[in-house]
Amino acid sequence: MPAKPQKKVNNMTDLTRDLFLELDRTDVLAPFRDEFHLPDGMIYLDGNSLGVMPKVASARAQDVVAREWGQDLITSWNKNGWFHLAEKIGDKIAGLIGAAPGEVMACDATGINLYKLLFMALDLRPDRKIIVMEGSNFPTDNYMAQGLIQQLDRGHEIYFVEQEAILAAITEEVAVVCLTQVHYKTGHLHDMAAITEKAHQVGALIIWDLCHSAGALPVDLNGCHADFAVGCGYKYLNGGPGAPAFIFVAKCHQGKARQPLTGWWSHAAPFAFEQDYRPADNIWQTLTGTQSILALSVLECGIDITLRADMAKVRDKSKALCDYFIGLTDQHCDGFGFSLASPRDGDGRGSQISLNHPKGFAIMQALIAENVIGDFRAPDIMRFGFTPLYTRYIDIWDAVMCLKNIMEKELWLNPEYDQPTAVT
């Protein structure tokens, strides 16, 4: 067995299906797969969009509904810990992203949390008017920023730049840099430490969107002295469809900036029912109203599993899965018109591989028809997400062989695969 499996990418001639089976047999993360439900016969490579269901989630949902709600009712706020659930789960997420207890809350949607943080960051830098973002980022971050500066109407501007231009764009005019660490389309991984350092050198603040990083790779917010972060519960954290998001505010900023969505849960004394708003001076200042207890409880199932995994090993396997996918595609799908949209170097990408193909939509539909699930992003990107806790090496081999077969037999020419349809 190779100590560094990614080396095999440079020498694919001896790769066989048996080798991938052997890689699974010696994979220290392999036992985690049994903690998730994978539909029979499906190769699921879309955990970057919606993570699979932890087996315990079903019983947990049942317990929250039937016992905590149905039986214990209002006493659950204390008896079953509902009142502190957002904070408790936030503390657990903190352990996955290099944050400390008391720096993270699990709440609301990613975009709403980003709105809170953008406002807070601008509030801390009242004399600066520039926000640096990546134009090709997942749109909700950019839309939220556009909406915020329009409503503030104080001359803020967003500089939309692409990855290679980001460091240069971070100047002393900049109030806040807001970036998604792993690009949703290409999987490109920003250098969090370098960009954060550059922002701080010029007196700017940074917001990291961890939607495609949390649970997918080691993240060290405090190691990089990051100011703020948000992230998603339903991708690599396997929290269920539309699971609550999370929000991180570094201790040093808590209580220093105004949070704009001043709901009662963010009040210094929520149950005093005072007429006037007084913000909490800790992470509670990021809350708004009552969160879905059911959604939070189910999210916790996925997080608990991830916390038991060694993230360094997750990262190693993630790189290996991606490398093998690239290597096998290079070897077996050459000449079919694919190009690699993701960085070839494992250190420069997250846990997904994207391929460009002008017929990408139809090809992805053909893959899905064969029970190999990835997804498509306009105009021509086929995305394959690799989630080391449940993706096997053999899945990589079988997925690429399926892709090869589709291309060789032109199965994607099926007229049923012509029309785009709503996917997330």
| Cα-based distances in Å from 259 to 120, 210, 269 | 6, 20, 16
The type of residue at 352 is: Q
Q: Which of 138, 336, 386, 393 is catalytic?
A: 138
Shortest distance, position 344 Cβ to its own copies, whole Å: 24
Nearest approach, Cβ of residue 69 and its own copies (Å): 5
Nearer to its own copies among residue 6 and residue 285 (C-beta): 285
Residue 9 or 245: the one with the smaller Cβ distance to its own copies is: 245
Count interface residues toward its own copies (CB under 8 A).
Answer: 93
Near its own copies by CB under 8 A: residue from 2, 223, 241, 358 = 241
Q: With binding defined as CB under 8 A, does residue 261 bind its own copies?
A: yes
Task: Report, in Å, the least distance between residue 123 CB and its own copies.
Answer: 8
In order, the DSSP letters of 109-142 are: -HHHHHHHHHHHHHHH-TT--EEEEETTS-HHHH
Angle value at C-alpha 313, between 311 and 315, nearest 5 degrees: 70
Does the active-site annotation cover 234?
yes
Widest CA span in the chain: 72
Q: Is 44 an annotated catalytic residue? A: no
Q: Is 302 in the site for its own copies (CB under 8 A)?
A: no
Helices 85-94 and 293-307 cross at an angle (nearest 10°) of 20
Note whether 306 binds its own copies by CB under 8 A.
Answer: no
Window 317-356: residues binding its own copies (CB under 8 A): none
Q: Cβ 15 to its own copies, closest distance in Å?
A: 29
Cα separation of 207 and 114, whole Å? 8
Q: Which of 198, 383, 386, 390 is flagged as catalytic?
A: 383
User: Which residues have C-beta within 8 Å of that of residue 25, sequence separation ≥ 6?
Assistant: none
Q: Is 66 in the site for its own copies (CB under 8 A)?
A: yes
11 vs 7: CA distance, rounded Å: 7
Which residue in the list 234, 246, 324, 325 is annotated as catalytic?
A: 234
Where in 95-124 is the site for its own copies (CB under 8 A)? 108-112, 115, 119
Question: Minimal distance in Å, beta carbon 311 to its own copies?
Answer: 24
**Helices and strands (H and E) in the chain: how many:** 12, 15
Structure tokens at 313: 């090993």
Q: Which stretch binds its own copies (CB under 8 A): 134-142, 323-331, 335-343, 358-366?
A: 134-142
As annotated, the active-site residues are 138, 209, 234-235, 383
